[in-house]
Structure formats: C-alpha cells, structure tokens
Chain A
Amino acid sequence: MTAKEYNTSVRLWADDAMRFAVRCGGTKADSEDAVQDALASLWQQHESVALERGKGFLLSTTYRRLMSMFRHQAVQRDHAAELAAQESQAPDEGFDLREAIECALSVLPEVQRAILQLRDVEGYSYAEIGETLSLNADRVQVYLFRARVAMRKQLIKLGYGINQ
C-alpha cells in the first residue's frame, strides 16, 4: 500500500471502523482512540498490507485495540445487571425501533455485537468474520445465532413484537 493508498483507506474506511467500534460497545472517545491506533498501525505496516486488505486490517486492529482497552480499564461488563437495567426501562413514545435495537444490542457481549455488525452491515462471510476477530468460522455462526436470539428476546421484552 502506497502513502496515497493509505490516505484512500482513511477516507474510505475510517468511518466504518468507527461505527464498528461504537457497535462493539466503545464510547466515542475509546472508539476514536481504537481507530486512531488502528490507522497508526496500518501506516506503520502500510508497505506490507495490500490495499484490498486494508479494511479488514483496520477492523481487525480496531477490534483488538478496543478489547485491549476494555481489559485495561478492567471493565467487567455485568450483562445480567445490564439486562436488569434494560428490563426496567419501559419503552415510551419516543423510544423507536432503532433505539430499541441499540438498547437490545447493549446487553450482548462485545464479540457478538462485532459479529452482527460485520455480518449485517459489512456483509462479511463467516470466514471473513472469523479472520477479522480471530475466531473459528463455526464459532462465528454459533455466536451469531446466540446474538440474534438474544437480541430478539430483548426486543420482545421492550415491547416490540413480531410485526414491529
């Protein structure tokens, strides 16, 4: 990847990496830091990374940086507690489906959120997701199954039935 191609990568994929980081549960600041680190890493290795692999490199590195941050901050995400908190949040008139989906996503483990984002938004295959997240493709499918089921259950609890 040339310097020009690196710039192209930034223009094309920085936003995607940012969305990915936010979906994985990162705060805005943490997500920006993770993306920045990923871009820095890409620049450091740009001579050995082909342009067509740039996006995968960015997403993968962003994910690893973000997970490292979570561990570093000793953020022990108590999903049961989060779930209880979400259950106590009754939907109101201003609580639309998009917000409900984000709310439902927030109770999922980061890896499941990452898989949903890569599958639904980025359109990655199971193998590509596995490569990005360093997971076996079979494991990716299992996590995807659990993520969708858990998200659907949560949406029902939030008042969004089958036709909503």
Chain B
Amino acid sequence: MESINNNNYELWLVRYADGDLTAAERAAVEQWLEGHPEAAEELKLYGEAPRLERDESVHYAAAVPGRVQPLWPAVLRWSAAAAVVALVAVPLGLWLTKPAEEPLQVAATEMPGSLVKEYGPTVVDTVSPVHEVIAVRTRHAVSASGSAVFSDADNQSVDNDITDELFVDAARCVPTEEPLLAAAEVSLPAADTARRVPTEEPVAVDMEEPSQQLVYVDNLFTVDSGNVVEQRLLAVNETIKERLQGTYLGRRLARRMPTGDELLDYTDNLRERTPEGVRMMADMVLAYNESNK
C-alpha cells in the first residue's frame, strides 16, 4: 500500500487502530501523525466513538414467533384471494338476482377437480336462465353497458382502479382449459332459495350513459343484469380494500397503483409455487359467501 499521506490516511488509521500494521508501519504512521494534529484528533475521535448495539425494539411485523410463514406466498394469497372473490362474486350476483321459483341451472366451474369434489356444488359458477345470461364462456371484459372493452387480458386498457386490475388478474388466474365438469341442474331447498330472493328490483342500465366501471366476467351477461352485478362488485371491492389494510400489498396499493404486471406476477407465483393457495382461495370464497348469507 502506498505510504501514508493526506489522501489515504483514513485507511491507514483504521488499520492502525485495528492493529493490522507491522511495527515499521505503525512507526511510520505515528511519525506522520506528529505533523498532522487534525488527523491525530480524528484518530482519537474514531477510538472514542461508541459501538452500535442491537436494537431489540425493532421487529419485522410479519415475523411473529410461532406464525412464521413464507411471506411471499402470504402476499400472493391476499391478491389471489381477492381476485377469486371477485371472480365468484360475478356469478354469485347473478344467482342472487334470480327468481326463487325457477330451478337453478348450474354450470361447471373451472376449479380443479379435487376442489370441486371437496367443496361440492357450493362453489360453482352459477348461471341464470338463458334470457338473463348467455351461458357462453368468453374472455371479453364488458362494461356495465354490455359492450366488450377488450378481448385479450394481455392487451388491456383498464381504468385507474384497483378493482379493475384485481379483476383482470382474477381472469388470468383461471386456467384456460375447458370446464372440468359437465353442466348439471340442481334444485335448492325452498327455504334456502327463499333466503336469496332479492329484496329490491335490479336497476336497468342507462344505455345513453354507460358506466366507466369495467367488469370482467367469464359469462357474458346481458345489460339488464349488468348494473346489479356492478353494484355487487363495488361492494366486493370495498371488502377487498378493507382486507388488504395493514398488509404489504395494501400499503403499496395505498401509495400507488400497482401495475398489471405486478399483480400478474403475484398470481403467477401463486399458481406456480403455492398449490395450497388455490385451497385457501376456495376457503376465502366460502367464508365470503357464508358472511353474506
């Protein structure tokens, strides 16, 4: 190393203080310090500086003893669970608006077969009679006016709204394969269906002033039910925001709008790395349905 001078004396003094110098080098440093009292003072201050101690009062909030979990999946669970709530809320909304007397026509869901077996017909994509809902699977986003907004989730243009992006991701979460189950018809007990009779009439959408709220659905629904579904989605949106409060994703959402790619990353990671996440999403959907009975 170059001999001590005004440009490198700090490095020399650290090594001097650490005892890393030879006797000859120490002597050279001490001789140089005699002619540089400012540097000698700095060396004195360096030696007097207190050493930092571990601040035991600081903890990472998520690392609670006894509840240690991989945190990345925890983030994914929230976004994905919110997405699936949104995904199920659409057909659920349609179902809730259906007259109780008519038998329900239940179409297959896109959930994995194991989940369908486990959870039975409770978590299914419900479809109203043909005059209300065209039970044709599509991947078009539609506005409340019923017009298609975009046809490809990867080539989208969504409003600056959290829900929209979550809903878009909900769609991306869904496998593209054909439905796993064939369509079936079931009849719910009278008491059960009576509980689901809507208390207010659906409000027709004003075709002259279509809503800007984007709604993504797997089943293309007609205009007269669109507004009701939209209202229910907005309610779900509030639930999502509420549940995200205090979480990592919630804080990020509060500060800025996440990009579609970020949300896509979350859901992609969930699908690829945490198969149990699907089960959790189903649990959340069931809990959400239960709380809304």
The total of Cβ contacts below 8 Å across the A-B interface reads 105
- Please name all residues of chain A whose beta carbon is closer than 8 Å to the beta carbon of B11 when the two chains form the complex: 138, 141-142, 145
Complex-state Cα separation, A141 to B11, whole angstroms: 6
Contact of B46 among A44, A101, A138, A149 (CB under 8 A): A149
A15 and B59 contact, CB distance less than 8 A: yes
Q: In the docked arrangement, what's the CA distance between A22 and B60, Å? A: 10
Contact with B along A127-164 (1 / 0, CB 8 A): 00000000000100110111011011101000000100
Chain B contacts with A in 64-89, Cβ cutoff 8 A: 65, 68-73, 75
Chain B residues lying within 8 Å of A148, measured Cβ to Cβ, are: 45-46, 49
Q: Tell me, yes or no, whether B54 is within 8 Å of chain A by CB.
A: yes
Q: Is the CB of A43 within 8 A of B251?
A: no
Give bound CA distance, A121 to B58, whole Å. 13
Hey, which chain B residues are within 8 Å of A71, CB to CB? none
Residue of A nearest to B266 (CB): A40
Q: Give the distance in Å from the alpha carbon of A11 to the alpha carbon of B62 in the complex.
A: 10
- Tell me the complex Cα distance, A3–B273, Å: 10
Contact yes or no, A44 B49, CB < 8 A: no
Q: How far is the CA of A97 from the CA of B51 in the complex (A)?
A: 12
User: Are B14 and A144 within 8 A (Cβ)?
Assistant: yes
Q: Count of A residues near B, CB < 8 Å?
A: 42
Q: From residue 21 to 56 of chain B, which have CB atoms closer than 8 A to chain A?
A: 42, 45-46, 48-55
Is A64 at the interface (CB under 8 A from chain B)?
A: no
User: Least Cβ distance of B196 to chain A in Å?
Assistant: 40
Complex alpha-carbon distance, A33 and B252, angstroms: 8
Residue of A nearest to B269 (CB): A44
Interface: A66 (CB within 8 A): no
Of B52, B65, B72, B273, the residue contacting A116 (CB under 8 A) is B52
Q: Which residues of chain B are near A120, meaning CB under 8 Å?
A: 51-53
B182 at the interface (CB under 8 A from A): no
Cβ-defined contact, A7 with B46, below 8 A = no
Query: A40 touching B46 by the CB < 8 A rule?
Result: no
- Docked-complex contact B58 and A152, CB < 8 angstroms: no
List the A residue with the shortest CB-CB distance to B61.
A32
B58 neighbours in A (Cβ, 8 Å): 15, 18-19, 22
Q: Is B206 an interface residue (CB 8 A)?
A: no
Contacts of B71 in A (CB 8 A): 10, 14, 36, 39-40, 43
Q: A6 in the interface, Cβ–Cβ < 8 Å?
A: yes
Chain A residues whose C-beta falls within 8 Å of the C-beta of B46 in the assembled complex: 145, 148-149, 152
Nearest 9 Cβ contacts at the A-B interface:
A148-B49, A14-B63, A120-B52, A18-B60, A14-B60, A152-B45, A43-B72, A152-B49, A141-B14
Can you list 13 A-B pairs, Cβ within 8 angstroms, ordered by A?
A7-B68, A10-B63, A10-B69, A17-B60, A32-B62, A32-B248, A35-B60, A40-B72, A121-B54, A148-B45, A151-B49, A153-B45, A162-B48
Since A43-B72, A146-B10 are in contact, a sample of 5 more A-B pairs with Cβ atoms closer than 8 Å, ordered by chain A residue number, is: A22-B55, A22-B58, A40-B75, A98-B53, A149-B49
